[in-house]
A and B are shown apart, each in its own frame.
Chain A
Amino acid sequence: MKRFNVLFVTGLVFLALAGFLLYKFWVITLNIVGGFLIYSLVSQCAAVLERKEIKGIRAKAAIGLFFLALAVAGALFIVLPFVEQVQTFAGQFPVLFEQFKEKIAELGSSAPFVTQLYESLRERLLKSFSGLFELSGPIITSMVTIPIIAVILLESGKKIKQKVFEAIPNDYFEVSVTIVHDSIGQVQNFLVAKSLESLALTIIYAVGFWVIGLPQPLVFGLVGGVLNIVPYLGPLLTLVPVGLAAVLSGGWSLFGLALIVLLFARLLDDAFLQTWLVSRFVAIHPLVVVLVTLIAGEVLGPIGLVVGIPVFVVAKILVMGMYTYLRALERHELYLAQEKGKQQNDANQKHHQVKADVF
């Protein structure tokens, strides 16, 4: 078996193992990823300030104030209305649930499989909710540790990068750094594009739902924005909670209007957001999208539906980076072997020449 194949398979196994460990110790992963995200965000702010000749303690104070203002504004204009809407929804939930149960019973009398489907869905939902409560501990811990990791990175990120680069042997320096830059750049571009697309869709959905009079427009807007991370299936998944809420609170006419909002948002997304932002970074075959989403959903549950595609994209970029790197290694080894062979030849020729001169 060729050495390249062995190295590539070994690399794949290592990547899979790393992925498994990241999944197994997801709290640590969450902390590291969160810390990196905040670090990237603050670094960008620092770069903007540096351009304006604001450095050192003044820059730190300005960034601190900016994030404090952002947190206060977020709490006042997003978190509070969101919590209020969730509370209202929770208050209405028993009534809506009863109506829903009645409708299911009506449908179940003519089609018994609907009752079965409802029961299995109910069980899954209850499981997911109890899971959410279990998550509250690690999430609260992360809220403390993520900023600490971000601060550590901000203070010593440049030196860590320098140390890592220094550890790379000279012969592999450029190719390693190039591939690392390419891979990180692609992942960053993908995440930024998807986040912007989701943010834009959240706003479009929320405004649309508010205009047609759907209850809790911000909650459903946010649900739609988050589910949009799942390509192709996201809008369909959004239709389920939105459609249910529309039918239960305003009947079929509101359902029709909600459908129009979803279609309108889809149109805007396909015509502008996808073209401008995402298409370059999500070049995956639709069939692969469906398969990855199904597998991730089966393995990780509802969270898998959302994180499946981003994880797949990141893994794809890493595997491609590893492939390019191993190909470069193969080329380097060939080149060095040729060089060594030539040096040996030159030395032999010199030796023969000396011998000939002697005789």
Chain B
Amino acid sequence: MVTGGIMQELFEYIFDTPDVRKLKGELKDSILFQGLSQKELDRVLSYAQLRSFKKGDHVFFEGDPGSAIYIILKGNIDIVKQNATKRVVLTQLSKGMFFGELALVHEIPRTATACVEEESLLLCLFKHDLDQIVKHYPRLANKVFVILSKILAQRLLDMNKRALEKAK
């Protein structure tokens, strides 16, 4: 698609609701996109997709071949592990948080299920699209990966800390 041009920008401006525009604007404050300029953020957004989910929907299921990261623009998501007898909520996520990031760096099936707890609006970035960013905008992709690595490292540190506290 020959992208760009005044007409396309106008089309996007008309058909994006003010709410969505506001939510997209707030993305700059999201931990995943900190440090990106507005132009770089717009570029990432041009590859991402907005998708709304109803309460009770599932974003993905444990065991699925996963390939996307999701940023919560609105609503709440539960990350759940379930078997025939037990259902454990691992974590509850809300606006501004993201999940599914392992699929971008590691080709393993989803390790838990993401359940929608209240009507949500998610921004999805598929690995396929991130690969396009890596191919076409390597500096931008580098920035995103550095941020992602820092977040994953921080999570690992937190987990180590929690494991140590538990051991005590």
A positions within 8 Å CB-CB of B:
42-43, 46-47, 50-51, 55-57, 59-60, 63, 154-155, 157-158, 162, 165, 170-171, 173-175, 177-179, 181-182, 185, 324, 328, 331-332, 335, 338-339, 342
Docked-complex contact B61 and A331, CB < 8 angstroms:
yes
Residue interface bits B111-144, CB-to-A below 8 A is 1, else 0: 0010010000000101110001000110000000
B interface residues with partner A (beta carbon < 8 Å):
1-8, 49, 51, 53-54, 57-68, 82-84, 87, 113, 116, 124, 126-128, 132, 136-137
Q: How far is the CB of A211 from chain B (nearest CB, A)?
A: 38
Q: Which residue of A lies closest to B62 (CB)?
A: A335
What distance in Å separates the Cβ of A97 from its nearest Cβ neighbour in chain B?
Answer: 51
Q: Give Cα distance in the complex from A81 to B60, angstroms.
A: 56
* Closest beta carbon of chain A to B38's beta carbon, Å: 15
Question: Chain B residue with minimal CB distance to A153?
Answer: B1
Provide the main secondary structure of the chain B interface: mixed
A46 near B3 with CB under 8 A, answer: yes
Q: Which of B53, B54, B84, B128 contacts A181 (CB 8 A)?
A: B128
In chain A, what residue has the closest Cβ to B51? A173
**Are A170 and B58 in contact, CB atoms less than 8 angstroms apart?**
yes
Q: Does the CB pair A174–B136 fall under 8 Å?
A: no
Are B60 and A174 neighbours in the complex by a CB distance under 8 Å?
yes
Q: How far is the CA of A174 from the CA of B58 in the complex (A)?
A: 10
For residue B66, which residues in chain A have a CB less than 8 angstroms away from its CB? 174, 178
Do A174 and B3 touch (CB < 8 A)? no
| Residue ID in chain A nearest B11 by CB atoms | A159
Q: Can you give 10 A-B contacts (C-beta < 8 A)? A: A46-B3, A50-B3, A56-B7, A154-B1, A158-B1, A177-B67, A178-B66, A179-B65, A332-B58, A339-B82
Q: Say yes or no: A43 contacts B1, CB within 8 Å.
A: yes
Q: Which residues of B contact A185 (CB under 8 A)?
A: 128
In the A-B complex, list the 3 residue pairs whose CB atoms are closest, starting with the nearest: A55-B4, A56-B5, A181-B128
Report yes or no: B64 in contact with A328, Cβ–Cβ below 8 A: yes
| Given A173-B59, A324-B65, 13 further pairs, Cβ under 8 A | A55-B4, A55-B5, A59-B2, A154-B1, A171-B58, A174-B66, A174-B124, A177-B126, A178-B126, A181-B67, A338-B82, A338-B83, A338-B84
Report if A335-B61 is in contact (Cβ < 8 Å); known contacts: A46-B2, A47-B136.
Answer: yes
Contact B126 A170 (CB under 8 A): no
Q: Give the shortest distance, in Å, between B67 (CB) and chain A (any CB).
A: 4
Given known A-B contacts A43-B1, A51-B136, A63-B2, A174 and B82 have beta carbons under 8 A apart: no
A178 to B66, CA, bound (A): 7
Instruction: State A331–B57 Cα separation when bound (angstroms).
Output: 15
- Residue from B1, B63, B68, B113 within 8 A of A178 (CB atoms): B68
What is the bound-complex CA distance between A59 and B124, given in angstroms?
28
Known: A170-B51, A338-B84. A177 touches B68 (CB 8 A): yes
**Shortest distance in angstroms between A188's beta carbon and chain B's nearest beta carbon?**
11
Q: Closest residue to B114 on the A side, CB-wise? A: A174
Closest to B87 in A: A342
Which residue of chain A is the closest to B116 with respect to CB atoms?
A170
Question: Chain B residues with Cβ under 8 A from A342's Cβ?
Answer: 82, 87
- A175 x B2 contact (CB < 8 A): no
How far apart are A152's CB and chain B's nearest CB, in angstroms? 11
Most A Cβ at <10 Å: residue of B2, B53, B68, B126? B2
Q: Shortest distance in angstroms between B109's beta carbon and chain A's nearest beta carbon?
A: 10
Report the bound CA distance from A139 to B114 in whole Å.
Answer: 51
Are A157 and B1 CB-contacts (below 8 A) given A51-B137, A170-B59, A181-B126?
Answer: yes
Q: Are B126's CB and A335's CB within 8 A?
A: no
Which of A42, A46, A55, A174 contacts B64 (CB under 8 A)? Answer: A174
The CA of A128 and the CA of B165, in the complex, are separated in Å by 79
In Å, the complex CA distance between A157 and B1 comes to 6
What CA separation (Å) do A174 and B2 show in the bound complex?
26
In the docked arrangement, what's the CA distance between A50 and B132, Å?
A: 13
Q: B4's contact among A42, A50, A331, A335, by CB below 8 Å, is which?
A: A50
A328 to B65: give the CA distance in the assembly, Å.
8
Residues in A whose Cβ lies below 8 Å from that of B63: 328, 331
A57 pairs with B5, CB closer than 8 A: yes
The minimal Cβ–Cβ distance linking A17 to chain B, given in whole angstroms, is: 27
Q: How far is the CA of A170 from the CA of B55 in the complex (A)?
A: 11
Q: How many angstroms from the CA of A3 to the CA of B162 in the assembled complex?
A: 44
Bound-complex Cα distance A357 to B137 (A): 64
B16 to chain A, nearest CB (A): 13
Contact status A56-B1, CB under 8 Å: no
CB neighbours of A154 from chain B (8 A): 1-2
Q: Select from chain A the residue with minimum beta-carbon distance to B86.
A: A342
